[in-house]
């Protein structure tokens, strides 16, 4: 029998509990469901000195080993994230020890993944330069602003580039872990694991974290927030930067800078995301053909619909419908 797949989850004080225990439980249940005679997973928690850590909710986690004891025999390394919640914003916790350790540990594992705001630690260690990545929607704009060499997409629940994975907030770590079980052992074991855990088994990487208009919540009367709502109600109209800037009585240049600073993305990318979300809902919930879906979502043509799905989701509209409808 093959040896078990070795998983290490790095944690530190203030980490979100489910960022650690959620993926760990998926791997544990998959091992139990697989039964004896089949390689499963061993999961270990690593902290700076092998000491216990206190999670954001006040629950203490015991560690199995220190970061220095994590060597090249690790198959999957997960780095969990943490945030600080202030009066007006949410900030990712940037643990300097984890970041420095990642610069040296990253070349070793077969698979490397961040959970939630752990993507900020990856980016600070230089692991995401030139790549697309996702993180919790509440810190996505900060990730984009701090690391312009990273293409931040706050929509998918996880994104994969070869051996490197990033995922959205909290529970999305369980979806990512389930996808890893699928890669390692096939869809049958992943499905059985999901059923055992009473998980929603259809949430693959192309699924959205949330509704696009919620990407950057603002206070009452905020003109940019009102504009995002207006975009969602007028997807079939001209939504060029010129038109949107004119609605706020701003120059295109100033509007584009303001929009990017507030949302972490460009007006054009945001509009495409909103239209793509509408197209996905139509594919999931209606029987409309592709020309109707393209027209109703504002993407215009079947060719544009295909291009958007290929570029943003790595699949075709027809394949998406088969999987999620």
Residues with Cβ within 8 Å of residue 322, at least 6 apart in sequence: none
Residue tagged 């004896």 (tokens):
36
**Sole residue written with tokens 């584009």:** 256
pLDDT of residue 214: 39
What is the torsional sign of CA 21, 26, 32, 38?
negative
pLDDT of residue 143: 94
With 70 as the cut, is the pLDDT of residue 213 above it? no
260: which residues sit within 8 A by CB, 6+ positions away?
144, 266
pLDDT at 285: 82
Instruction: Determine contact, residues 83/93, Cβ cutoff 8 Å.
Output: yes
Whole-number percent of the chain with pLDDT over 90 = 59
The C-alpha torsion from 127 through 216 and 82 to 180, rounded to 10°, is -60
Q: What is the pLDDT of residues 54-109, one digit of tens each?
A: 999 999 999 999 999 998 789 999 999 999 887 667 899 999 999 999 998 877 88
Instruction: Check pLDDT > 70 for residue 210.
Output: no
Tokens representing 63? 């560690």
Cα 44 from Cα 65, distance rounded (Å):
7
The pLDDT of residue 200 is 59
pLDDT in tens, 217-255: 444 446 887 898 899 889 999 999 999 999 999 999 999
**Cα separation of 76 and 314, whole Å?**
24
Provide φ and ψ at 30, rounded to 5°: -60, -40
User: What is the mean pLDDT of the segment spanning 275-292?
Assistant: 90
Determine the Cα–Cα distance for residues 239 and 277; give it in Å rounded to an integer: 16
pLDDT for 262 equals 79
Q: pLDDT, tens digit, for every residue of 171-191?
A: 899 999 999 998 899 888 988
Q: Give dist(CA 289, CA 66) in Å, integer.
A: 55
Give burial (CB, 10 Å; 0-12/13-18/19+) of 86: exposed
The pLDDT of residue 222 is 67
pLDDT tens figures, 95-113: 999 999 999 887 788 899 9
Write the CB contacts of 296 (distance below 8 Å, at least 6 apart in sequence): 236, 278, 282, 288
List beta partners, residue 78: 9, 113
What is the distance, to the nearest Å, from the Cα of residue 70 to the centroid of all Cα atoms in its chain? 25
Mean pLDDT of the 134-155 span: 90
Interval 260-284 mean pLDDT? 87
The answer to whether 171 and 22 have CB atoms below 8 angstroms apart is yes
Q: What is the pLDDT of residue 34?
A: 92
Residue 212, pLDDT > 60, answer no
- pLDDT tens digits for range 21-40: 999 999 999 999 998 888 89
What's the confidence (pLDDT) of residue 201?
53
Q: What is the pLDDT of residue 219?
A: 43
Region label for 130, one of left (φ > 0), alpha (ψ between -120 and 50) or beta (otherwise): left
Domains of the chain, earliest start first: 5-196 (3.40.50.880), 212-324 (1.10.10.60)
Of 140-149, 217-226, 288-297, least confident by mean pLDDT is 217-226
User: By the 8 A CB rule, do 158 and 172 touch?
Assistant: yes
Q: Would strands 158-161 and 164-167 be described as parallel, antiparallel, or unpaired?
A: antiparallel
Residue 211 has pLDDT above 50, yes or no: no
Identify each DSSP E strand in 29-116 by its residue range.
41-47, 53-54, 60-61, 65-66, 76-80, 83-85, 90-92, 111-115
Lowest mean pLDDT among 82-96, 168-182, 205-219, 261-275: 205-219
Task: Using a pLDDT cut of 70, give the percent of the chain over it.
Answer: 91
pLDDT of residue 108: 81
């Amino acid at each position: 029998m093959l040896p078990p797949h070795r998983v290490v989850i790095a944690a530190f004080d203030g980490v979100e509990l489910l960022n650690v225990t959620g993926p760990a439980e998926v791997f544990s249940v998959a091992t139990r469901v697989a039964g004896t005679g089949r390689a499963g997973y061993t999961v270990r928690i690593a902290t700076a000195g092998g000491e216990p850590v206190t999670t954001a909710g006040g629950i203490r986690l015991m560690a199995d080993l220190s970061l220095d004891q994590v060597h090249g025999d690790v198959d999957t390394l997960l780095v969990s994230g943490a945030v600080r919640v202030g009066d007006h914003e949410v900030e990712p916790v940037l643990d300097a020890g984890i970041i420095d350790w990642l610069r040296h540990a990253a070349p070793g594992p077969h698979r490397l993944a961040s959970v939630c705001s752990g993507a900020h630690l990856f980016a600070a260690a230089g692991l995401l330069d030139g790549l697309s990545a996702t993180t919790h929607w509440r810190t996505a704009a900060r990730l984009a602003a701090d690391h312009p060499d990273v293409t931040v997409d706050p929509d998918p629940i996880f994104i994969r580039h070869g051996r490197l994975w990033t995922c959205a907030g909290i529970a999305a770590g369980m979806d990512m872990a389930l996808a890893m079980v699928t890669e390692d052992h096939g869809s049958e074991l992943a499905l059985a694991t999901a059923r055992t855990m009473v998980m929603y088994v259809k949430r693959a990487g192309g699924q959205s974290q949330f509704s696009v208009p919620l990407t950057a919540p603002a206070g009452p009367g905020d003109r940019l927030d009102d504009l995002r709502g207006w975009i969602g109600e007028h997807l079939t109209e001209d939504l060029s930067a010129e038109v949107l800037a004119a609605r706020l009585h701003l120059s295109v240049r100033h509007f584009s800078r303001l929009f990017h600073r507030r949302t972490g993305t460009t007006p054009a990318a945001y509009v495409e995301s909103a239209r793509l979300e509408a197209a996905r809902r139509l594919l999931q919930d209606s029987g409309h053909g592709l020309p109707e879906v393209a027209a109703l979502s504002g993407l215009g043509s079947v060719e544009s619909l295909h291009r958007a799905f290929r570029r943003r989701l790595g699949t075709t509209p027809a394949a998406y419908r088969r999987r999620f409808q």
